[in-house]
């Protein structure tokens, strides 16, 4: 138990550091993308932190396995390089005991990933979809810049103005197009100014000296036009297209009963992430083997990264094939973890197989050397 706790602690230390670094990088990348939408007025500023947190919660099911995998390779590479494993094996510490310590840590983290995949992942996706949809119904008018076309997700609202007096000043020569089921509204205004924000987070706009055109989309609808000296308008388009179906936000229990290929792919992905965590954690042990004082502590680090990259590409490709119906539910995406399991077995037992092969070869050579040649036997025959 002392050895197992020592090995777990040696892995847990870099695990915390690697997971913290990856989490920070991912949060920074997500924030940069969301800030651009906030600056352009397409996303409320207060929703940035919430969306970043939701994206990070979703990404943990991928960040935890790769952090565990890298940490095992780093920690065990250091132990191999410092001859600590040589000393352990000399003290009757078997490789099975070392593998059991890795299995305990990997199984614990696999349980965490399972909870994240089955419960936190669909909740976070549903919440992020709700925030995104709410952002389509409101916009930060003061953040808009001149010379830029502002479109919502489905193109139902277009806003453009070529110039503006100051950062929050009135916009000049404003063009607004709003799509409705039966008509297209086009508004041309000499100036526009944002009014104080409403309680729901939106903001009305007062348009001065405006020309409003109501253009029908069918032959039965009559076109109309009117001139107004001043009009108050909500620039948000409330007649947006219905939200598209996404399996990522569906509860796991409903996915398990579905026969839709997209639902099957999402359901199998949620179950495969904890299995991948367990296999990757154990795979880090054989991939970290280095000879003492040969090649450095992290000699196998590049190989380990290539192995993970290949496995992740296989998993994402398998998920896409199932999602589009190219591959059926059986084998689904399970062939990718199965290949990783076979690779793990080969990596764990290859040294023993290699040693046994060399031993058998050496014994055959010794047997050949000890065999007496036939001509030598005939020379000493008394007959």
Estimate the crossing angle of helix 48-81 against helix 95-115, to 10 degrees: 180
Average pLDDT over residues 116-138: 80
Task: Tell whether the model's pLDDT for residue 346 goes beyond 70.
Answer: yes
How far is Cα 101 from Cα 284, in angstroms, rounded to an integer? 12
Quote the percentage of the chain above a pLDDT of 90.
26
How far is Cα 178 from Cα 189, in angstroms, rounded to an integer? 14
Strands 171-179 and 183-194: antiparallel
Instruction: Quote the pLDDT of residue 16.
Output: 93
Closest CA to 70 of 11, 8, 4, 3: 11
Instruction: Quote the pLDDT of residue 37.
Output: 65
Which residues are 175's β-sheet partners?
160, 188
Task: Tell whether the model's pLDDT for residue 371 goes beyond 60.
Answer: no
Peptide bond into 331 cis (omega under 30): yes
Q: Where are the beta strands (DSSP E) in 203-252?
A: 205-216, 224-233
How far is Cα 98 from Cα 103, in angstroms, rounded to an integer? 9
Model confidence at 358, pLDDT cuts 50, 70, 90, reads very low
Estimate the crossing angle of helix 121-136 against helix 48-81, to 10 degrees: 140
Closest CA to 152 of 243, 214, 254, 264: 243
Model confidence at 106, pLDDT cuts 50, 70, 90, reads very high
How far is Cα 34 from Cα 47, in angstroms, rounded to an integer? 9
Say which residues have a Cβ less than 8 Å from residue 88's Cβ, sequence separation at least 6.
Answer: 3, 98
Average pLDDT over residues 81-93: 79
Closest CA to 247 of 90, 126, 340: 126
Q: Which H or E run includes 186?
A: strand 183-194
Backbone phi and psi for residue 336, each to the nearest 5 degrees, phi listed first? -70, -50
Task: Look up the pTM and report it.
Answer: 0.70
How far is Cα 337 from Cα 320, in angstroms, rounded to an integer? 15
Average pLDDT over residues 175-194: 80
Task: Tell whether the model's pLDDT for residue 40 goes beyond 70.
Answer: no
Instruction: Quote the pLDDT of residue 359.
Output: 42
Distance of CA 368 to the CA centre of its chain: 59
Q: Locate tokens 């929703």: which residue?
A: 47
Read off the tokens for 80.
């191999």
Instruction: Quote the pLDDT of residue 244.
Output: 63
Average pLDDT of every residue of the chain: 79
Please classify residue 126 by burial: count the beta carbons closer than 10 Å to its beta carbon, then call 0-12 exposed, 13-18 middle and 19+ buried.
Answer: middle
CA count, 13 A, side-chain hemisphere, 81: 15
Quote the percentage of the chain above a pLDDT of 70.
74
Question: CA triplet 331, 337, 340: central angle to 5 degrees?
Answer: 130
Average pLDDT over residues 289-297: 64
Model confidence at 105, pLDDT cuts 50, 70, 90, reads very high
How far is Cα 335 from Cα 330, in angstroms, rounded to an integer? 9
Read off the tokens for 66.
């790769």
Task: Tell whether the model's pLDDT for residue 182 goes beyond 50.
Answer: yes
Instruction: Quote the pLDDT of residue 297.
Output: 64
Model confidence at 362, pLDDT cuts 50, 70, 90, reads very low
Task: Tell whether the model's pLDDT for residue 141 goes beyond 80.
Answer: no
Contact 323, 261 (CB under 8 A): yes
pLDDT digits (tens, 9 = 90+) for 304-345: 889 999 999 999 999 999 988 888 888 889 999 999 999 988
Average pLDDT over residues 112-130: 90
How far is Cα 272 from Cα 249, in angstroms, rounded to an integer? 17
Task: Tell whether the model's pLDDT for residue 43 goes beyond 60.
Answer: yes
For residues 376 and 260, the model is more confident at 260
pLDDT digits (tens, 9 = 90+) for 208-235: 888 888 887 777 777 788 888 887 777 6
């Amino acid at each position: 138990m002392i050895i197992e706790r020592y090995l777990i602690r040696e892995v847990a230390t870099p695990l915390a550091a690697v997971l913290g670094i990856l989490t920070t990088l991912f949060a920074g990348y997500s924030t940069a993308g969301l800030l651009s939408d906030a600056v352009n007025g397409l996303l409320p500023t207060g929703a940035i932190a919430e969306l970043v947190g939701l994206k990070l919660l979703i990404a943990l099911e991928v960040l935890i396995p790769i952090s565990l995998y890298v940490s095992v390779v780093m920690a065990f590479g250091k132990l191999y390089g410092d001859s600590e494993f040589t000393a352990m094996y000399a003290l009757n510490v078997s490789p099975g005991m070392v593998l059991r310590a890795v299995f305990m840590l990997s199984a614990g983290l696999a349980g965490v990933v399972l909870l994240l995949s089955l419960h936190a992942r669909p909740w976070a996706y549903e919440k992020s979809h709700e925030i995104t949809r709410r952002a389509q119904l409101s916009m930060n008018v003061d953040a808009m810049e001149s010379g830029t076309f502002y479109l919502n997700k489905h193109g139902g609202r277009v806003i453009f103005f070529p110039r503006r007096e100051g950062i929050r000043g009135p916009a000049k020569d404003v063009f607004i197009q709003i799509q409705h089921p039966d008509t297209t509204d086009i508004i041309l205004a000499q100036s526009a100014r944002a009014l104080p924000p409403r309680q729901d987070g939106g903001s009305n706009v007062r348009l001065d000296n405006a020309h409003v055109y109501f253009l029908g989309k069918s032959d039965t609808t009559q076109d109309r036009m009117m001139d107004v000296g001043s009009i108050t308008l909500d620039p948000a388009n409330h007649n947006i297209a219905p939200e598209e179906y996404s399996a990522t936000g569906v509860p796991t229990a409903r996915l398990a009963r579905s026969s839709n290929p997209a639902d099957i792919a999402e359901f199998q992905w949620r179950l495969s992430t904890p299995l991948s965590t367990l296999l990757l954690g154990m795979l880090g042990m054989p991939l970290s083997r280095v000879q003492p004082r040969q090649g450095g502590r992290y000699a196998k680090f590049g190989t380990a990264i290539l192995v993970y990259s290949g496995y992740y590409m296989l998993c994402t490709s398998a998920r896409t094939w199932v999602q589009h119906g190219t591959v059926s539910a059986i084998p689904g995406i399970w062939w990718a973890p199965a290949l990783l399991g076979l690779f793990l077995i080969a990596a764990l037992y290859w040294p023993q197989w290699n040693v046994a092969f060399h031993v058998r070869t050496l014994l055959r050579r010794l047997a050949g050397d000890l065999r007496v040649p036939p001509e030598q036997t005939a020379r000493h025959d008394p007959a």
